[in-house]
Chain A
């Protein structure tokens, strides 16, 4: 199925006789494999509204991410949450779509300061499992009218509905960027450094530790960036360097290596303890989000089990043999099942993905 309008999308779902597998750009292979007829969203493409003066962009779900980023760049703006490009990590080709970004809540290093994808999405239109066209939120950045289904749809991996149109709050692109690098730190030292940086008044919007290098990013007006970078060097040591943040954003060090890729979200101060347990198994580890996002490349085994009593969650991003998503408590699982029954009572949308 390849609908070219929201109405066609609704008709396709309403008339579906069996399970559907929703396909955007197919660049992010996250979640359990799904059986069913392919429902492509690439026919729902195009930016419907862009108001730079209101920091608002609305696009159809199948619009390529690259097209949106180019439109924003032409007005010196950008998506706040720095969505990653997973093609290298998964060895996929093609164009990531904005619907796929939202369905997976894909959020990069700037998540710690500018929020996740879910914080930038301000409205959705979608078609539920019965073929009903529904909307929630809108195109204004403050909206508390009714329940916030926008958050629920973001990161629901197409299991509650098929997104047709999404509204975003966008931000001005910065005039300048600077990265302070401190070389040769242990995991503990790195997380302590990143906590210092993130607990400073200098509005840090990137803090990662990769291959022994701790990198701290500030962005904004040129004079301000120069000032804050200098203050951070005074506080933390290190020096201002050129650094390509796509390395961290896209987990590039793991891209051309075989092995399972795990992603953990924990509180930053628990990061090094988890990292040590991971490294003991021979895994490689990258820290983002000040130490709270831990990426691990493992040669095999249940890395989630290493969390022990550390609070948070683990996702098996690439690999098989273990549940992809973190097991839920009974209470939460029952609520989620109840929600799925309301949004997709025929149980046909991306069944078993999550």
Chain B
């Protein structure tokens, strides 16, 4: 992956830019020491690193405005950063950039249970949003695996999903409003506690724009009352194809589980070794979770188990207790970490039509043979959002490049069968150069036009999302 050449003329002005930033922020909120800025050199896509020129940590919307006005006047690229958990390099700096971290913006501003929303500063972590309302038995639905660490700001930038979005939707379906600062330093209030837009749905446009249209400092989020209970069932099959068919049948049957998660043998074994989740050693494992009162859960699980049995499962086990349910989920949530114990890996995020699951899993297995790189699959099967983990050795010359080549081939396959490059992680730098497989130049050009409107000087997170060759003239101007 190529990173754009930094602008040395900007880097030469670093002392002057630091001095200006220090006039609007406290001194400890402007980090410019070359050792200290290294803490911000990468995000969750840690194969790529580049220390930024400066890091700023504003404490209020007003401070964000002041910072952006300075950067706009100085012509300095700004890379917004939530908690730095992006798996696609969304928060990867360039050497000539100012990283704008929102971690100090973490307050709850308002909770309203009658109208079912919470208003928070955008640096607040995903899980602590639920933490702020769970005493009232409410929760915030989107639950990315990184929810302990990831910030709402990053969730909005990437339109993050999670395991339970089959029922509750992704970030964009749970976001009611934002306060956003444009690159020129203008504060916009978009949406609010009411539903839907008066005119164009700018909120929908901003969500998922990877920090390229503005810096979100506050968010109004929909909160929901917790269900009375939830219970998963484990279903094991001796082939991926049969597991895929079972998923499709469950969905078609009219019962909509909150989650249908899929793991294949390499991941099952790794997760089992890591956290002793009690998983059977099978080819494909489904975790299907339903919600409701005890009787409602029984009603739904009876239907699901009847469907599962028609496909001759090797194992079918309903969770019998809350502890067992927690253990079952622990294995799934730890799956990435467990694979990381075994090897370096690259996590893909393509989405495919559910009907194509067996075919795509078969093709991935073939590619794994061809490239000589092992692959584990763990993903949200209900919505077709796959997460193939390609294992490689970072210390072995050429292995990362081989892994990326195979990853690109898998993502192209996802697009070919009617899916997309990324379901919830975002394009970032990782899938930037593959955009042309999904979109024509004209499809991309209209998106670049949208950025022109919000950020005419192309200073906000400019080297992301789109192929560098297509954005070069805009970034240079």
Using a CB–CB cutoff of 8 Å, the interface residues on chain A facing chain B are 51-56, 75-76, 105, 107, 111-112, 115-116, 118-119, 128, 132-136, 138-152, 154-156, 160, 171-175, 192, 195, 198-201, 203, 221, 223-224, 227-228, 265-269, 289, 292-293, 311-313, 315, 325-326, 328-329, 331-332, 335-336, 338-339, 341-343, 354
Contact = CB atoms under 8 A, between A and B. Distances in A.
A332 B201 contact: no
A195 B193 CA distance: 14
A228 to B, nearest CB: 8
Contacts of B116: 195, 198-199
Contacts of A224: 292-293, 295-296, 299-300
A52 B253 CA distance: 10
B427 A146 contact: yes
B255 A172 contact: yes
Contacts of B117: 267
B354 A54 contact: yes
Contacts of A134: 440, 442-443, 446
B204 A292 contact: no
Contacts, number: 264
B352 interface: yes
Given A142-B380, A292-B195, 12 more contacts: A53-B249, A105-B196, A139-B418, A144-B158, A149-B205, A151-B205, A160-B200, A172-B255, A227-B293, A227-B296, A311-B193, A315-B198
B205 A54 contact: no
B387 to A, nearest CB: 11
Contacts of A354: 199-200
A140 to B, nearest CB: 4
B159 interface: yes
B254 A172 contact: yes
B225 A200 contact: yes
Given A147-B205, A156-B200, A325-B199, A135 B439 contact: yes
B404 to A, nearest CB: 18
B228 interface: yes
A173 to B, nearest CB: 7
A9 to B, nearest CB: 15
Nearest to A130: B442
B453 A335 contact: yes
Interface residues of B, number: 95
Interface stretch (B60-68, B71-79, B169-177, B309-317): B169-177
- Interface centre among B165, B384, B431, by most chain A C-beta atoms within 10 angstroms, is B384
B254 A146 contact: no
B194 A266 contact: yes
Contact of B383 (A141, A203, A293): A141
A323 to B, nearest CB: 11
Contacts of A115: 169, 173
A142 B165 contact: yes
A267 B110 CA distance: 14
A312 B251 contact: no
B159 A144 contact: yes
B442 A132 contact: yes
Contact of B197 (A54, A76, A155): A155
Interface string B373-401: 00000001001110000000000000000
A111 B195 contact: yes
A140 B352 contact: yes
A329 B187 CA distance: 11
Contacts of A268: 114-115
Contacts of A173: 254
A201 B138 CA distance: 9
A134 B435 CA distance: 14
A140 B351 contact: yes
Contact of B248 (A54, A151, A199): A54
Nearest to B228: A201
Interface string B119-162: 00000000000000000011000000000000000000011010
B418 A343 contact: no
Interface of B: 112-117, 137-138, 158-159, 161, 165, 169-170, 172-173, 182, 186-190, 192-205, 207-209, 225-228, 248-249, 251-256, 292-293, 295-296, 299-300, 303, 351-355, 380, 383-385, 418-427, 431, 435, 438-440, 442-444, 446-447, 449-454, 465-466
A266 B194 CA distance: 5
Given A53-B252, A265-B196, A146 B465 contact: yes
B226 to A, nearest CB: 6
A336 B248 contact: no
Contact of A142 (B186, B196, B384, B443): B384
A315 B195 CA distance: 13
Contacts of A339: 200, 450, 453
Given A54-B353, A142-B165, A342 B201 contact: no
A154 B431 CA distance: 26
A146 to B, nearest CB: 5
B354 A53 contact: yes
A113 to B, nearest CB: 9
Contact of A342 (B115, B194, B256, B452): B452
Ranked 4 nearest A-B pairs via Cβ: A151-B204, A313-B198, A142-B423, A338-B453
B192 to A, nearest CB: 5
Contacts of B172: 119, 148, 151
14 contacts: A51-B353, A135-B439, A136-B443, A141-B351, A142-B351, A143-B351, A143-B422, A146-B427, A146-B466, A152-B201, A155-B200, A326-B199, A328-B199, A331-B187
B438 A336 contact: no
A142 B254 contact: no
A154 B203 CA distance: 12
Of A75, A145, A221, which is in contact with the most chain B CB atoms at under 10 Å from its CB? Answer: A145
Contacts of B426: 144
Contacts of B159: 144, 148
Nearest to B435: A146
A343 B195 contact: no
A338 B426 CA distance: 25
A227 B353 CA distance: 35
A311 B208 CA distance: 25
Given A134-B442, A135-B443, A331-B186, A55 B251 contact: yes
A308 to B, nearest CB: 15
B295 A56 contact: no
Nearest to B466: A146
